[in-house]
Every structure is written in structure tokens, then in C-alpha cells.
Structure 1
Amino acid sequence: MKSSIAFAARPRRKRLIGTALVALAAGALAWTAVGGGAAAGAAATVVDEAPGYAVEDFDYPQADKILAEKNILLKRGDGHITLADCATGTGQLEVQARDKSKVCFDVKGTSGWLTLELPSVYLIRGNDYTTEAEMTVGTEEQSYDIAKNAWTPVGESADEQAREWTLLELRTSK
């Protein structure tokens, strides 16, 4: 009877020793990677060469190029309201300014915002979104609720003195 117990214990002992060796090897590898050994210098070099963190600043992409080509100053936004080529039947926001034929914006998502400077705006055509336009003339500011899928007089066309208003911000929500 003793021989059968001793015989059965040997494979278990070998398994325990094998498991202990694997654990020791893994621990040594982890120690080398984290704190000591030759691999630590190599890891520091890789970390030093890694790219920095990406931080969203909400600046409008290629704003300088758009300003130079189209004379439209786009400042910041969340990416849900973007300048677009005007196309009929696309559900775009359309802005009429005195010195421009028409400026159009695509709107995506459930809400969006865009800050810009577009002078001499007098009409905005809404789309399926609830839209608010912030405008200014001198030190005076005015907020306009834009009618859905219809033209709304804003700025100069809604001002008793017919002053030239500048569109500063568009906000949309569904």
C-alpha cells in the first residue's frame, strides 16, 4: 500500500516543481522588464521616442486655408457642423451674406456647435435641426432662433437700423 501512495505522489511533486519553475521564470522576466536588468534601458529609449498624447483643442481643421481661399473665418467646433459645398436637397444650413453668394454647412449627429466670423449675414435657412445663431454688431449681441426648413431674417434684415451684423456662432440640436 505504501508503494502505491509513494508512486502517486511523484507525478504531483513533479507538477508542483514545474509550476514553481514557471512562476519563478515569469517573476524574473517581470522584474527585468519593470525595474532592473538590461531591458530597462531599452524600454526607456522606446518611451522617449513615443508620440505625445493627442489632445482635442476643437480648432477648425484647415481654417487658415479656408480663410485664404473663401474669406470665411472658421474658429472652433465639435465637428458636427462643417463647411460644405452647397447642394440642393441635402438638408444643409444655408447662410446668405451680402459679400458672398451663399455659404452652406453640413450638420451631423444629435447636436453641434461652430464658432466663426462671417460678416454681413442677413438670412439663414434652417434644416431639420433646431438651430440658434449668435450675431454681433459693435458691442451689441443678438441670438436668433432659426426656423426649421425655412428662411429666417437675421442681422441686417431684422435690424431697424439695417446695420451689418456678423455671425459668430451656430448651435444645433435634434
Structure 2
Amino acid sequence: MQAFTPHTAQPKRRKFLARGCAVAIAAGTLAWLAATGSGVTTPTVAPVAAEGPGDAIEDFSYPHADKVLAEKNVVLKRGDGNITLADCSSGTGFLEVWAREKEKICFKVTGNSGWLTMEIPSVHLIKGNDYTTQVDMTLGTEQKSYTVTKNTWTSVGETVDPEGRQHVLVEIRSTKS
């Protein structure tokens, strides 16, 4: 059996110590140059463009509302995106809003809940869907709320007003239950 000799590990240790000293000397030199300001320049930071894009802040405005107004004469204002205007012929399960002097207007409801503000005059009938839905209507400064029955027709506005006055639909709120 061969005896352990301590001198065989010394060349590896010397290389390790030499590298460690070289790194320490280089780091110290860089620190000294940075502190004295000689030979080293600090990079400056400048914006890529004079003005970057602004913050993205959701204002809940209905997208393309001006186009909807021009095509359907319906004012859609704001919402959370879970109640959207839909093509009535594209499917079933929509909220159907009936107003005098307009074709029916359909809204698709998605998610667990949604809300949409608008102005649709002379609304008198709404067909519900699978969601629990409340609608707010105005008559001048007076506001009335109606619960829309699920999957059936609900009379609202002028059809339930004793004087038959025309109401404006101003908000739909739906929740899945």
C-alpha cells in the first residue's frame, strides 16, 4: 500500500490561489479606477424615443361605438366587455331588446357577470336569456329598474307605464346564477 504524500496536492492549490489573487487584483483595480474617475466612463442612459406610449388605462368605452351609432342608431357607451352587441341571426341565447321604430337588438352575455350602459329610446319588450338580468330605464329625470325574466319575454317601459310614456334603456346588468 502506498503512503499518502501531502506534496501531490500543492500544485492544484497554487493554481487556485493564483487565480483568486488575479481576480482580486483585477476587481480592486476596477474599483479604484471607478472611484477616481480615471480611465473609466460611466454609460449614460437615454430614452429610445422622446415620448413613449402612454399608460394603458381602461376607460370601459364601448369599442367602435360611433360605427354602431351610424349603422344601427344605437348609442353604446361603456361596459366591462361581457355584454356585447350581437347579430340576432348568428345564434341563440341572446338578450333581445325591442324598441319602437327599430329592429330587435341583440346582446350576447359572457362570463359570470356583465354590464353595459347605452341609450336606446322607446324600449318596450326584452327577452331574457340564461342570465339573471336587471335593466335600468329613464323617463326624463325618473329612473326605473326592471328584472328581466330568464328565457321569456318581459314587458318594460311604456308597456307597463300607466300613461304609456316612452322610456329610454340606459343600462343592462347580468349575472350567471
Q: TM-score by structure 2 length?
A: 0.80
Any residues of structure 2 matched to 1:68-87 within 5 Å, and which? Answer: 68-87=70-89
Tell me how far 1:63 sits from its aligned partner.
0.8
For these two proteins, the number of residue pairs brought into alignment is 161
Measured against aligned partners, the alpha-carbon deviations of 1:137-163 in whole angstroms (never above 9, x if no partner) come to: 011111000000000000011111100
> What is the percent sequence identity of the aligned residues?
53
Counterpart CA distance in 2 for 1:96 and 1:143 is 16
- Picking from 43, 59, 67, the partner of 2:69 is 67
Within the alignment, does 1:116 sit opposite 2:118 as a pair? Answer: yes
- Cα distance between partner residues in 1 of 2:27 and 2:143: 70
Matched, 1:92 2:94: yes
Distance change >3 Å, CA 83–CA 20, structure 1 → 2:
farther
Aligned to 1:33: none
Deviation at 1:47, TM superposition (A): 5.6
What is the alpha-carbon distance in structure 2 between the residues aligned to residue 137 and residue 105 of structure 1?
A: 23
| CA pair 23-143 structure 1, distance change in 2 beyond 3 A | farther
Letter of the 1:16 partner, please give it: G
Aligned residue type for 2:42: G
Q: Report runs of 4+ in structure 1 exceeding 6 Å deviation.
A: 21-24
Q: Who is 1:32 aligned against?
A: none
Q: CA deviation at 1:173?
A: 0.5
Unaligned runs of 5+ in 1: 28-35
Bigger Rg, which one: 2
C-alpha deviation, 1:130, in angstroms? 0.5
Instruction: Give the match's secondary structure for 1:6.
Output: helix
The residue type equivalent to 2:62 in the other structure is Y
Secondary structure of the residue aligned to 1:75 is strand
Partner of 2:35: none
Q: Distance in 2 between matches of 1:19 and 1:98?
A: 85
- Give unmatched runs, 5+ long, in structure 2: 32-40
Counterpart position of 1:132: 134
Instruction: Verify: 1:101 aligned to 2:106, yes or no.
Output: no
1:37 aligns with 2:39: no
Deviates more, 1:66-75 or 1:9-18: 9-18
What's the Cα RMSD here? 2.5
Q: Which amino acid is 2:94 matched to?
A: Q
Matches of 2:54 and 2:111, distance apart in 1: 29
Change (3 A) 1:54 1:157: same
**Aligned partners of 1:147, 1:77: CA distance in 2, in Å?**
22
Distance 1:150 1:17 in 2: 85
Query: What is the one-letter code of the residue matched to 2:13?
Result: A
The alpha-carbon deviation at position 18 of structure 1 amounts to 7.4
Name the SS of the counterpart of 2:48 in structure 1: helix
TM-score by length of 1: 0.82
1:134 is matched by which residue type in structure 2? D
1: CA distance between counterparts of 2:18 and 2:49? Answer: 41
Cα distance change, pair 117–20 in 1 and its aligned pair in 2 (3 A): farther
